[in-house]
């Protein structure tokens, strides 16, 4: 009996140690994020992924799980209409899709971190630079965050920082950069770009907490933290995947891309369904005025 009790206690202790020292927590609950980030101090750093963690498009085809299908539609446009037209229409999509918060609590959690004087920035894989009518994709992303009342710029009062040294020689890849509190990795490993940024601002946090909906990106930041000897916690925040659990509505997607190609308009899923179900015009389905 005593041996059994001892073994039970030992198992419980092992589970406790593994839990406390876990490098990654998977959750759909913002209360878990709040609990972890509000333990931190001014010597620490919190980094938030943006698309899929803070906000996400309302369009089903733009959800993370359907990006390959979205890219395939753009590829078809490129094959039939040419690369310049495909880029122009991609710009129409980026200017007109309707973003929504993944969770209404996220902006307040970010503000609570800032009130706690813990440094916090956005760390996104998003590209930088122009795209057709869009002069700056980084400015568009910063603007979208500000529309939700989110401003990351106060933690590091530095001007825009470019990381050209990370790009391969003679490459036309978008440049990773930091601007207005948002660190854009431009699809380079997030840990590599974060390392370059922290060296530039001469700040070595005691602990990094990174929140991302991609386990791969969490591991990229973890790799940097391990090499630098920085305590690290990755929060794999997967609520966005629950929001798009259903199968792709092909009829809606086809109508959206048909309208995009024929009218240079990106309509919402709701309007596309209205057109399909009622055979009404875009105007009668109450589509808002969109940027061409």
Is residue 90 situated within a structural domain? no
Q: Is the pLDDT of residue 61 over 60?
A: yes
Is residue 147 situated within a structural domain? yes
Is residue 261 situated within a structural domain? no
Token code pair at residue 261:
């190609």
Is residue 48 situated within a structural domain? yes
Question: What average pLDDT does the structure give for the chain?
Answer: 90
Is residue 143 situated within a structural domain? yes
Q: Is the pLDDT of residue 288 over 90?
A: no
* End-to-end CA gap in the chain: 76
Is residue 203 situated within a structural domain? yes
- The values of phi and psi at residue 283, to 5°, are -60, -45
Cβ contact 194:163 at 8 Å: no
* Mean pLDDT for the stretch of residues 46-66: 94
Model confidence pLDDT, tens digit, residues 14-53: 333 333 345 999 999 999 999 999 999 999 999 999 999 9
* Mean pLDDT for the stretch of residues 201-224: 97
> In which domain, by residue range, is 124 found?
22-58+98-243
The three-state secondary structure class of 290 is coil
Q: Is the pLDDT of residue 8 over 90?
A: no
Q: Is the pLDDT of residue 289 over 50?
A: no
The predicted pLDDT at position 15 comes to 34
Domain total of the chain: 1
Q: What is the dihedral of CA 121, 208, 164, 177, to 10 degrees?
A: -10
Angle between helices 269-278 and 250-263 in degrees, nearest 10: 100
Q: Is the pLDDT of residue 9 over 50?
A: no
The predicted pLDDT at position 10 comes to 40
Among 244, 245, 246, 236, residue whose Cα is nearest residue 29 = 236
Is residue 214 situated within a structural domain? yes
Q: What percent of the chain has pLDDT over 90?
A: 82
Q: Which helix (H) or strand (E) holds 160?
A: none
Q: Is the pLDDT of residue 68 over 90?
A: yes
Model confidence pLDDT, tens digit, residues 229-258: 999 999 999 999 876 657 899 999 999 999
Model confidence at 144, pLDDT cuts 50, 70, 90, reads very high
Model confidence at 136, pLDDT cuts 50, 70, 90, reads very high
CATH number at residue 197: 3.40.50.1000
Q: How far apart are CA 147 and CA 132, in angstroms?
A: 23
Is residue 69 situated within a structural domain? no
């Amino acid at each position: 009996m005593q041996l059994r009790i001892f073994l039970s206690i030992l198992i419980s202790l092992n589970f406790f140690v593994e839990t406390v020292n876990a490098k990654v927590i998977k959750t759909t609950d913002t209360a878990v994020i709040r609990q972890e980030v509000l333990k931190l101090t001014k010597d620490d750093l919190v980094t938030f992924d943006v698309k899929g963690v803070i906000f996400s498009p309302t369009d089903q085809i733009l959800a993370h799980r359907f990006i390959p299908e979205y890219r395939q539609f753009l590829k078809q446009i490129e094959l039939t209409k040419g690369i310049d037209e495909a880029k122009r229409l991609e710009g129409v999509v980026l200017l007109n899709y309707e973003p929504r918060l993944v969770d209404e609590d996220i902006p307040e959690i970010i503000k609570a971190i800032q009130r706690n004087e813990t440094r916090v920035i956005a760390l996104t894989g998003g590209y930088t630079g122009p795209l057709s009518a869009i002069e700056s994709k980084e400015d568009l992303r910063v603007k979208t965050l500000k529309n939700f009342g989110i401003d990351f710029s106060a933690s590091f009062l530095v001007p825009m920082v470019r990381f050209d040294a990370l790009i391969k020689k003679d490459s036309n890849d978008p440049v990773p950069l930091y601007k207005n509190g948002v660190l854009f990795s431009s699809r380079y490993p997030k840990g590599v770009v974060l390392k370059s940024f922290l060296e530039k601002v001469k700040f070595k946090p005691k602990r990094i907490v990174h929140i991302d909906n991609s386990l791969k990106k969490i591991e990229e930041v973890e790799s940097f933290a391990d090499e630098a000897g920085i305590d690290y916690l990755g929060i794999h925040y997967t609520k966005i995947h629950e929001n798009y659990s259903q199968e792709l509505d092909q009829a809606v997607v086809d109508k959206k891309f048909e309208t995009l190609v024929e009218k240079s308009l990106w309509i919402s899923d709701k309007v596309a369904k209205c057109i399909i179900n009622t055979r009404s015009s875009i105007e009668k389905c109450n589509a808002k005025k969109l940027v061409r």
